[in-house]
Structure 1
Amino acid sequence: MELPILLVFLIIGATIILFVTEFFPIDKIALFVVVSLLLLGLTTPEEAISGFSNAATITILSLMILAVGLEENGVIQWLTDGIRKLKLLPLILITPAFMIVSAGISAFISTTAVVIIFIKIVSQLAEKYNFSSSKLLMPISFAGILGGSCTLMGTSTNLIVNSLAKEAGAESLGFFEFSFIGLAFVLVGVIFMTIASRFLPKDKSKDLQGDYGIDKYVFSIKVKPEASFIGKKIADIDFLTNQNGHILKLIRDRQVINAPGKYVTIQEDDELILLSEISEITDLSATNEISFNEKQEENNAKNDNEDQQQSENKKLTYVELLILPGSEMIGKTIKNLRNMSLQGAFPIAINKRKNIRNTQERLLRKNVENIRVKPGDRLLVETQTTAISRLNSIQNIAILNEHDYKIGKTTLQKSIALIILLGVIGLAASGVLSILGASLTGVAAMLLTNSISLENVYHKINWQIIFLLAGMIPLGVAMTNTGADTWLSENLLTLLDGQTPTVVIALLFGFTMLISGTISNNATAIIMTPVALSLAAGLSLPVKPFILAVMFAANFSFFTPVGYQTNTLIYGTGIYKFKHFLIIGGMLSIILWILATFILSTML
């Protein structure tokens, strides 16, 4: 083995170890890879930074921007509202139904974004219908991974494999070219996980909600004349009946109704006292159907009348403040705090510290504005983004979280964003434009129609992924430059001498899937694609089955919670243990491995 080849393998080995141990962040590891390749002379300076201009990197960045635009314009919320309607299905059908929906959406939208939506919805349904959320979260995550494998834009791995293969001279994959194979995997995954979900652990909703359920804020909101739910019964209004929005009392014409029944009808100017999560109320506030009180409404109206530059400078946001011992706010009521100078911040709601006294019944007996602040309570305030730093001057508080101030989007704005997404899919699928050209056109359309601002893009893009891709792609270049891919394939061919092409495909698929369970699926694709191309050339076989083997196998990270980001998300809920991924995910991996070997071998 020549020294350059040995150096490439040492860098790959060190990279895998760093990924597994998480000793450094992934973007920092990728930068170390770039510098190592450059200093050791394994790539030229231009090749070392070629990942930043690679078509796959720019395409993935463009698709991320489109996803931000969909979220900003309420299209993601549209999807969420539609998915909630699946609760009408019988419980036995919810698992396959949610998996199919998750897979379908993930074929065109970020799998991670889809799973985050489902985590929230499943939590609500589990509480309302008294079933275990663990029966759904793992199947949904696996379905999202499978669905993302069905189209060229479904996951970044597909784009990377296609880009690397195209650069090596192979024929580019079509947008839906491998969709039928992906659908076969989805079908098998849905059937298997529907059965296997019976063996997943049971979780208790009470444990997820926290002691006594007082883990939400108490809001006082006023129903505006334009509210769409005026005249509706409480039982027919989602935000008043789901798990996240529980009505404590209703105040009408100075008359207080404690714990109003589900048949009470909401009227204009009603004041509702809610125990709710921040996201639920900010979503509702974005529709301009409620106000927190008259003073706050007047302040917002004043801001709306200012010129554009001042409006940008006075953009509003929500901030959570933790009240520490010694704070001047202790002992004050919400009403008192609204009359105090809190560096321009306006108190919206309060979250009482969990203890045996803070029960829901106790909160019912108090007017929200008369609840007194104590150490350990959390106060939600509305303030200007440019004034957040001034909150640090308030003694004995801690700033916990900042939440976006959502602006209501019209149906026209939502429709434009959705049409842009469909246009990108249509242009790429029809071949009129490449997926890179289509996604860049989509971003330009978003900017032209003011569907997105670059300021939000800079804040919301996951730049770690972009730097990971840009840093790892030169590693594939170095493998080709040094002949490491050829050396590896020649030695593999020697070991596999006399074996059928089916066995070779099976081993390539299995080995790739094994690596993807321990390191990033994108990094796996970058390492294994050159090897797959060399194997195909050495055996004088069609390249496409080998490319597809790496693409699918790199995505199929089911047997560990760290191989794919969505698995890490659901693992972080504390519901599952590593063994659940190892056993159930491992069984699914073996089944798909056998199926993939059979399908891909027919293409040889």
Structure 2
Amino acid sequence: MTIEIIGVFIIIAAVIFLFAFEIFPMDKISFCIIAALLLTGLVSPEEAVSGFSNKAVITILCLMILAIGLEENGAISYLAKGLKILKNWPIVLAMLAIMLIAGSISAFVSSTAVVIVFIKIVAELREKYQLPPGKLLLPISFASILGGSCTLMGTSTNLLVNNIAARYTGEKLGFFEFSLMGVIFLGISMGIIAVFYRFLPKDTGELSDNYDLNRYLLTLTVEADSPLVGKPIGESFMFKETDITVLRLTRNGYDQNLLNHELLIQPNDIILLHCSLENLQKMRGEGYFEIDVEKNDRFQSTKNTQIKKVSDSDKKSKEVKQSKDENLLLELLLLPGSKFLGRNLTELKTMLIPRAIPLAVNKRKKLRILKNRLHQSNHEFTQLHVGDRLLIQTKPEYVSNFENSNNLAVLNQFEGRTPATPFKRNLSIIILVATIAMAATGVFEVMTSVITGTLAMLLFKCVELNRIYEKINWQIIFLLAGMIPLGIAMSNAKADTWITEELLSLMAGQQPTFIIGLLFLTTMLFSSVVSNNATAIIMAPIGISLASGLSLDPRPFILCVMFASNFSFFTPLGYQTNALIYSMGIYKFKHFLVIGGAISLVLWGVGTLLLSAMLN
């Protein structure tokens, strides 16, 4: 083992540690990788930045743009429009039908975009037809991942592995070459979920009924003319309402004793509440506080919401005004890659003004330990993470901005949604179909096809450049750009060759089926700790080297790494869509461990047999 190989292994170990414990965001880890490789001399400067011009990365970037065009013009929602017919179906059949639709769309569109759209669709199905979200969202996430494994452009992992295969073997995978296996995996997984669907969370149609997802953290600042001033806190509406929990009252920077119900509320007291959306609306309607988006100068302070007595004349003038220009409440879901991650409500407010005012945040996964963390500041309390739900107030003309945002998904609102233009919607679908046709028939290679499709989206104004810059998940792009040089460093240092030689000596005399099975399992476990893309970049060269050392066809080994990188279902960490669904608070870790674990184990066995059969 050379010093260079040891250096590569140290960097890989550090990367695994950083990913596993989420010490830094993905893009920051990527820059750490590039810097470490340059400082140690494991790659040249040109190789260190080669990830930014890599064909797979450019292809993935263009696919993201195509997905943005489809989503902004309502194409994905249109393709899923017929789901309302499922309202009278048995829940297990409805679940399987939705999985099939989500999987089919994900074969050609980003799985993350598909899941985000289906979250909105499921929210509507729950509201209108009482279909339980707990029975649908996890299967949708799994189906989108499995559907993406059916075509070459289905997932970024497929494109990365194909690019590595072309570099090492000179051969590329066909567009539909592995589609049959992908369909088999999807069908088997649907059957497993149908068996285990009773294990999925039960609910009665309202997310808030069993999962408390309709409750928010809300910080209120008491003004001098508030009706609460001078009242004992125990006699205030906050203590009388059973659905409102007072978590903290801060006065002059010091937390007060809430056990003292005779504590008098004073001006400038800061009260942290945990309450339902219904109670928040009630307080808003009864004049406990008033927020006007146009008068946003008063929100430049560090307070989130102000409690203020509203006079009768104010109410009358407000009623007249609302008849012409009514403010809306929107419920939003914070998405991966959002520029709002790590921000608090005060910072978010500055970013949203003048379009909207953030009122409250639902931090579902942290509510169970809130009372143990009351020593923290309000800013630490309300720091935003993936899956947090935001409640904002805005005006009708700004609703489309939030619906089209890649940072936030609109889950609920009080007015009808802005309809997509049918012409642009149909045109974006035609562009996608043409792009797929060019790539699938071999007229052009995949990168050329998606660049052409992206150009068509721009020329026909199906998507604007400023929207692209805003909505692209740059974390993924930078992750890939950082991981690709790590793969080059492994090759330069001959680390992949050393690993292969050691594995071959350990597995001497073993059947190819055993070796493929071990590679599949190792890759799948690795993907549960590190991202699927990072796993593919590290494991694909090893798989190809194993095939070369055994004098076997490399294709089964290439496909083994590709499938296994995507099939880590037993934790919510292996894939972005699973992390998003988990962070919503509907599912517990055990749902991934039991249902996802069963799927991963079965697919490991079936995949090993199918891939081994390719060697005969």
TM-score (norm 2): 0.70
- The equivalent residue for 2:165 is 165
Deviations 1:470-506 (A, max 9, x none): 0101000000000000000000000000101111000
- The equivalent residue for 2:549 is 538
CA distance in 2, matches of 1:67, 1:405: 17
Query: Aligned to 1:509, what secondary structure does the other structure show?
Result: helix
CA distance in 1, matches of 2:132, 2:542: 43
Q: Retained in 1: the 8 A contact 2:192–2:598?
A: no
- The equivalent residue for 2:298 is none
Q: Retained in 2: the 8 A contact 1:62–1:439?
A: yes
Q: Quick check: 1:36 aligned with 2:36?
A: yes
Q: Quick check: 1:349 aligned with 2:360?
A: no
CA distance in 2, matches of 1:193, 1:72: 31
Aligned partner of 1:167: which letter?
R
- The equivalent residue for 1:508 is 519
Pairing partner for 1:336 from 297, 317, 341: 317
CA distance in 1, matches of 2:478, 2:153: 19
Cα distance change on mapping 1:439 and 1:42 into 2, 3 Å? same
Alignment of 1:46-195 (within 5 A): 46-126=46-126, 128-130=128-130, 132-195=132-195
Deviations 1:94-120 (A, max 9, x none): 121111111111101111122222223
Cα distance change on mapping 1:335 and 1:109 into 2, 3 Å? farther
Q: Quick check: 1:466 aligned with 2:477?
A: yes
CA distance in 2, matches of 1:155, 1:388: 35
CA distance in 2, matches of 1:493, 1:508: 12
CA distance in 2, matches of 1:212, 1:441: 43
CA distance in 2, matches of 1:149, 1:521: 12
Aligned partner of 1:174: which letter?
G
Q: Retained in 2: the 8 A contact 1:136–1:197?
A: no
CA distance in 1, matches of 2:10, 2:170: 28
Q: Retained in 2: the 8 A contact 1:150–1:181?
A: yes
- The equivalent residue for 1:241 is none
Cα distance change on mapping 1:212 and 1:78 into 2, 3 Å? closer
Aligned partner of 2:437: which letter?
G
Higher alpha-carbon deviation: 181-190 or 81-90: 81-90
CA distance in 1, matches of 2:92, 2:57: 41
Cα distance change on mapping 1:538 and 1:109 into 2, 3 Å? same
Q: Retained in 1: the 8 A contact 2:87–2:131?
A: no
1:122 is displaced (CA, Å) by 2.8
Query: Aligned to 2:463, what secondary structure does the other structure show?
Result: coil
CA distance in 1, matches of 2:572, 2:329: 36
Q: Retained in 2: the 8 A contact 1:334–1:347?
A: no
Cα distance change on mapping 1:350 and 1:163 into 2, 3 Å? closer
Q: Retained in 2: the 8 A contact 1:338–1:346?
A: no
1:87 is displaced (CA, Å) by 2.7
CA distance in 2, matches of 1:473, 1:546: 19
1:124 is displaced (CA, Å) by 3.8
- The equivalent residue for 1:562 is 573
- The equivalent residue for 1:479 is 490
Cα distance change on mapping 1:586 and 1:11 into 2, 3 Å? same
Deviations 1:298-345 (A, max 9, x none): xxxxxxxxxxxxxxxxxxxxxxx99733658787756624888x9xx9
Q: Quick check: 1:491 aligned with 2:502?
A: yes
Give the gaps of 5 or more residues in structure 2. 217-276, 279-301, 332-344, 346-350, 359-381, 383-389, 402-417
Give the gaps of 5 or more residues in structure 1. 216-274, 277-320, 353-377, 379-383, 392-397
Query: Aligned to 1:405, what secondary structure does the other structure show?
Result: helix
- The equivalent residue for 1:427 is 438
Q: Retained in 1: the 8 A contact 2:431–2:457?
A: yes
Pairing partner for 1:325 from 306, 310, 315: 306
Q: Retained in 1: the 8 A contact 2:111–2:148?
A: yes
CA distance in 2, matches of 1:27, 1:328: 47
- The equivalent residue for 1:200 is 200
Query: Aligned to 1:11, what secondary structure does the other structure show?
Result: helix
- The equivalent residue for 1:571 is 582
Aligned partner of 1:453: which letter?
E
Deviations 1:185-230 (A, max 9, x none): 0110111111111222323544526989899xxxxxxxxxxxxxxx
Aligned partner of 2:306: which letter?
P
Q: Retained in 2: the 8 A contact 1:337–1:347?
A: no
CA distance in 1, matches of 2:606, 2:179: 15
Deviations 1:538-578 (A, max 9, x none): 11100100000000000002000111111112212222211
Query: Aligned to 1:141, what secondary structure does the other structure show?
Result: helix
Query: Aligned to 1:563, what secondary structure does the other structure show?
Result: coil
CA distance in 2, matches of 1:212, 1:196: 24
CA distance in 2, matches of 1:119, 1:390: 24
Query: Aligned to 2:328, what secondary structure does the other structure show?
Result: strand
- The equivalent residue for 1:405 is 400
What is the count of residue pairs matched by the alignment? Answer: 466
Cα distance change on mapping 1:204 and 1:339 into 2, 3 Å? closer
CA distance in 2, matches of 1:351, 1:422: 34
Q: Retained in 1: the 8 A contact 2:130–2:206?
A: no
Query: Aligned to 1:475, what secondary structure does the other structure show?
Result: helix
Aligned partner of 1:148: which letter?
G
Query: Aligned to 2:169, what secondary structure does the other structure show?
Result: coil
Cα distance change on mapping 1:332 and 1:593 into 2, 3 Å? farther
Pairing partner for 2:598 from 555, 562, 587: 587
CA distance in 1, matches of 2:439, 2:355: 43
- The equivalent residue for 1:440 is 451
Q: Quick check: 1:9 aligned with 2:9?
A: yes
TM-score (norm 1): 0.71
Cα distance change on mapping 1:385 and 1:206 into 2, 3 Å? closer
Query: Aligned to 1:511, what secondary structure does the other structure show?
Result: helix
Cα distance change on mapping 1:36 and 1:496 into 2, 3 Å? same
Cα distance change on mapping 1:390 and 1:24 into 2, 3 Å? closer
Aligned partner of 2:110: which letter?
S
Q: Retained in 1: the 8 A contact 2:135–2:200?
A: yes
Cα distance change on mapping 1:337 and 1:129 into 2, 3 Å? closer
Deviations 1:345-404 (A, max 9, x none): 95423689xxxxxxxxxxxxxxxxxxxxxxxxx9xxxxx99955999xxxxxx9975765
Query: Aligned to 1:567, what secondary structure does the other structure show?
Result: helix
Aligned partner of 1:555: which letter?
N
Aligned partner of 1:56: which letter?
A
CA distance in 2, matches of 1:488, 1:120: 46
Deviations 1:426-462 (A, max 9, x none): 0000000111000000111111111111010000110
Q: Retained in 1: the 8 A contact 2:151–2:175?
A: yes
- The equivalent residue for 1:357 is none
CA distance in 2, matches of 1:150, 1:389: 41
Higher alpha-carbon deviation: 130-139 or 51-60: 130-139
Q: Retained in 1: the 8 A contact 2:71–2:113?
A: no
Deviations 1:499-518 (A, max 9, x none): 01111000000100011111
Aligned partner of 1:529: which letter?
A
CA distance in 2, matches of 1:351, 1:100: 30
Cα distance change on mapping 1:323 and 1:484 into 2, 3 Å? closer
Aligned partner of 1:164: which letter?
I
Q: Retained in 2: the 8 A contact 1:48–1:474?
A: yes
Higher alpha-carbon deviation: 495-504 or 568-577: 568-577
Cα distance change on mapping 1:548 and 1:45 into 2, 3 Å? same
Indicate the percent of aligned positions where both proteins have the same amino acid: 51
- The equivalent residue for 1:522 is 533
CA distance in 1, matches of 2:544, 2:470: 38
1:405 is displaced (CA, Å) by 2.8
Cα distance change on mapping 1:212 and 1:167 into 2, 3 Å? closer
CA distance in 2, matches of 1:144, 1:212: 24
Cα distance change on mapping 1:578 and 1:592 into 2, 3 Å? same
